[in-house]
Structure 1
Amino acid sequence: MEKQINGRDLIAIGYTEGRTLGMALELLNQPGLPQEHDAALALLKQVKEQPEQFLDDEKLEPLATAIIEDANAPVDTTIALSEEPKDYAIYGAAHIDEGARKQMSVAMRLPVTTAGALMPDAHQGYGLPIGGVLAANNAIIPYGVGVDIGCRMALTILDIPETHLLQHEDVFKKELIEHTKFGAGAGFHGRYRADHAVLSRDEFNLTQFIKQLKDKAWSQLGSSGGGNHFVEWGVIEFSERDEALNINKGKYVALLTHSGSRGLGATIAGYYTRLAKQLCRLPKEAANLAWLDMQSAAGQEYWLAMNLAGDYAAACHETIHNKLAQAIGGTILARVENHHNFAWKETWQGQEVIVHRKGATPAGKGVMGIIPGSMTAPGFLVRGKGNEDAVNSASHGAGRQMSRTKAIQNIAKEDFLAILAANNVTLIGAGLDEAPMAYKDINQVMAAQRDLVDVVARFSPRIVRMADDGTSED
């Protein structure tokens, strides 16, 4: 052969690095093959392009078989992560566990990630950590929203003075028990069912899967989940007049609720998370961050279903607030509410992105939100500052510092009861897993996000109702 064929020559005619290229090079040293450079190269090209024609050739059959096997081998469609995570801001870093940081770092390595931030109440979750904010390009991540789609806060401020609540606590407690239900599977039946325009939404006919969830949604309308979900009476104090809300300085009775989209949202979340994992294969450490392309049918379907679940969650809060406001009387001065498990289309640095807030409060400039503490710690009515480094977000609460299991193992019931008495809080339901000691210090959390929100008013719980057994949310 006048010129020896090398690997670059074979790659030029269609071979790739690997075993078939090596086998082809070895064949060139065997007798019986063309010795002329161009003829040998032409033959190997023909074997590469039409291997089935050489299966009966004693010398070329092994190469032809290997080429066919490689062509039919399963293709690894796993999407690679970037080597290094994009930079992201961390607030209250000293009080955030390593698990949450690791999860956030993985999320910042996704090829669709544009920006992110970790809030001061952050702790480890599934996929995106609780307290994680992630902006993605043209992608929606079901586990970036969370299982309880549209989990949210709602606050109703009444023109009732604090003294009235203190003097008639038995009435407020009675109505709270009468008009609320809690826990997995809890709902209303027969004449006790509420109604709401959300149940007539066209999205309930989006697919057969969603259509079959409507009756469950109807029965659970106006109910609350387990875990850290609550309905509570308390006192909200404005240290100065708030012009936007038209509320004067002073103390007012207020109703505060925390819950999500119940079984409807949980079922939607489970279905589309499984679908995302089938369509978007990621390395093991990132598997729970599988996304749906917003331009795909599946992505659009989830987007519509997610928004339906979010509006349903809002309807649940509205139903509870209207029932209790009517039962207690008084004039509603203001109502503020916000999701903290959801995804929004927003503009970040001039680009439209999908901002996932999994346990984080929207805090765009002038946007109002509610950040609760615990059943004995204060909550805060806040107004966002629009901090771009935080992707216009803030914490969604104090955040857990102790897992549910550890709380049950380490917190004594007498200590739990003592802290309730010390804070003049009446508790209905809840387990040791929701004891105030299981949560971070809300004052430290608020101090860590002074650059993210301004405090408008302070809410102090007085009568708190939660699920009787501390079950996790639907």
Structure 2
Amino acid sequence: MPIQQILTGGKVPVKIYTDDVDPKALVQLSNMAQLPFVHGHVAAMPDVHVGIGATVGAVIPTKGAIIPAAVGVDIGCGMNAVRLSLKAGQLPDNLRPLRHVVEAAVPVGFDMHSEGHGALASTVRAMSGGLDRIVKRHPGILKMQKNVERNWMRQLGTLGGGNHFIELCLDENQDVWVMLHSGSRGIGNIIGRYFIELARKDMGKHLANLPDRDLAYLREGAEHFDDYVDAVHWAQDYAMTNRREMMRLILEALARQLPPFTATKEAINCHHNYVAVEHHFGEELFVTRKGAIRAGAGDLGIIPGSMGAKSYIVRGKGEPQSFCSCSHGAGRRMSRGQAKKKFDPQDLIAQTAGVECRKDAGVLDEIPGAYKDIDAVMANQSDLVEVVHTLKQVMCVKG
């Protein structure tokens, strides 16, 4: 479907691909549209919902500045999926032992790998130089959390918590897929928080002129701008590497339990919380996707539903008005606190019927009922992407 509503009144308009928007999200979108360096318009995807400062599901094109809080603290968070040469009938009837095997291979929640295990040593070495360069200029990063210099290595190839997950899915042809969602873990969170605060400090008294202090920005050419660009790109690379290492560990674990298989070439690894330099409407711009994926013409992407809903492998149509973007998922309909008040574990059991997963109070905030209807979200972005595969999970690992 085309753009459903347009907000005016800011420096630029806001073009929204749904009419299902929380009023608080509309305020956040309007706030972003007031910033002097936002270029052209702001685009809001069908999964749009309230974030911190910047709305989740927003695509923010800027010229000469970046908003660190719009990129967020889970820098480079995104998806990875790969199709296996297995069919549904080759999976065991009881998937619980398989879930435990995956949970043993990939630490979840606050857990991490033991020293010397997890990510390949060559991978750790490849990432080390970039971080050393960043902390040499900003040693305060290492003071924000205990054992930062060791933990980032131990967290490579780990899931984390919240809405991060690992799933075994079946597509419309009964082919088996492995799909996962994670980002830059603790080190990305630290880098994000460090530069968000630095942007506030750099703005000084001008911070009071912003509609929201979480929209503090770094100007191109200012003292810390290049350092942030360097740090955010490193964190995005870390997130991509983290997903790649997790997928390697998962496939190794599955290979010990399932019939022999190969991973097909149809593999996708894409960010949905990140900033990149792109060319749109004749200009080189910084494009921040806060809960949105790139959907350029021919780009393959992943749009997951909730724990009990369908997910989609999509191909981008390169729609200019969305800055070649689409949604990053279903999008939350209610906050985590609201979900815990509204639902109980029996609701979770009912809404995840047929899925091998945790069904306890610890993951109640991720219940499918807390999310928007993924089918409605997909219908609202038919101008942005075409569906290549429809996936339904049969096993889900949560942190």
Fold-level similarity (TM above 0.5): yes
**What is the letter of the counterpart of residue 225 of structure 2?**
G
**Map 1:50-65 → 2, pairs under 5 A:** none
Residue 161 of structure 2 corresponds to residue 229 of structure 1 = no
Q: For residue 158 of structure 1, give the secondary structure of its aligned residue in structure 2.
A: strand
Higher relative contact order (Cα pairs below 8 Å, separated by 6+ residues) = 2
Residue 86 of structure 2 corresponds to residue 160 of structure 1 = yes
Pick one of 27, 45, 55 that aligns with 1:102. 27
Q: Which moved more, 1:191-200 or 1:286-295?
A: 191-200
Q: For residue 440 of structure 1, give the secondary structure of its aligned residue in structure 2.
A: coil
Cα separation, 2, equivalents of 1:466 and 1:443: 23
Aligned position for 2:132: 205
Aligned position for 1:193: 118
Cα separation, 2, equivalents of 1:163 and 1:203: 45
Q: For residue 286 of structure 2, give the secondary structure of its aligned residue in structure 1.
A: strand
Cα separation, 2, equivalents of 1:171 and 1:387: 44
Cα separation, 2, equivalents of 1:171 and 1:427: 11
1:415 Cα deviation from its structure 2 partner: 1.7
1:251 Cα deviation from its structure 2 partner: 2.5
CA-to-aligned-CA distance 1:3-62 (integer Å, 9 cap, x gap): xxxxxxxxxxxxxxxxxxxxxxxxxxxxxxxxxxxxxxxxxxxxxxxxxxxxxxxxxxxx
Q: Which moved more, 1:83-92 or 1:224-233?
A: 83-92
How many pairs align? 370
1:284 Cα deviation from its structure 2 partner: 4.9
Contact 2:351/2:367 (<8 A) preserved: no
Cα separation, 1, equivalents of 2:307 and 2:51: 22
Cα separation, 2, equivalents of 1:219 and 1:151: 18
Cα separation, 2, equivalents of 1:217 and 1:191: 12
Cα separation, 2, equivalents of 1:187 and 1:306: 22
CA-to-aligned-CA distance 1:288-326 (integer Å, 9 cap, x gap): 111112333411111111111111111111111111212
Aligned position for 2:4: none
What residue ranges of structure 1 are gaps of 5+ in the alignment?
Answer: 1-81, 238-249, 468-474
Aligned position for 2:355: 425
Cα separation, 1, equivalents of 2:294 and 2:178: 21
Contact 1:133/1:358 (<8 A) preserved: yes
Q: What is the TM-score normalised by the length of structure 1?
A: 0.75
What residue ranges of structure 2 are gaps of 5+ in the alignment?
Answer: 1-7, 143-147, 256-260
Cα separation, 1, equivalents of 2:243 and 2:89: 26
Aligned position for 1:134: 60
Aligned position for 1:332: 263
Aligned position for 1:278: 201
**What is the letter of the counterpart of residue 369 of structure 1?**
G
Q: CA RMSD in A?
A: 1.8
Pick one of 174, 179, 184 that aligns with 1:256. 179
**Map 1:72-83 → 2, pairs under 5 A:** none
Q: What is the TM-score normalised by the length of structure 2?
A: 0.89
Structure showing greater radius of gyration is 1
Cα separation, 2, equivalents of 1:359 and 1:116: 13
Residue 338 of structure 2 corresponds to residue 406 of structure 1 = yes
Q: For residue 221 of structure 1, give the secondary structure of its aligned residue in structure 2.
A: coil
Cα separation, 1, equivalents of 2:15 and 2:74: 25
Q: For residue 337 of structure 2, give the secondary structure of its aligned residue in structure 1.
A: helix
Cα separation, 2, equivalents of 1:83 and 1:101: 12
1:194 Cα deviation from its structure 2 partner: 2.3
Q: For residue 381 of structure 2, give the secondary structure of its aligned residue in structure 1.
A: coil
1:101 Cα deviation from its structure 2 partner: 1.1
Q: Spell out structure 1 runs of 4+ moving beyond 6 A.
A: none
Pick one of 278, 282, 285 that aligns with 1:353. 285
Contact 2:274/2:288 (<8 A) preserved: yes
Cα separation, 2, equivalents of 1:89 and 1:166: 47
Aligned position for 1:176: 102
Cα separation, 2, equivalents of 1:129 and 1:198: 33
Percent identity, aligned pairs only, is: 35
**What is the letter of the counterpart of residue 374 of structure 2?**
I
Contact 2:117/2:154 (<8 A) preserved: no
Cα separation, 2, equivalents of 1:278 and 1:174: 46
Cα separation, 1, equivalents of 2:152 and 2:221: 28
Contact 2:210/2:216 (<8 A) preserved: no
1:204 Cα deviation from its structure 2 partner: 1.3
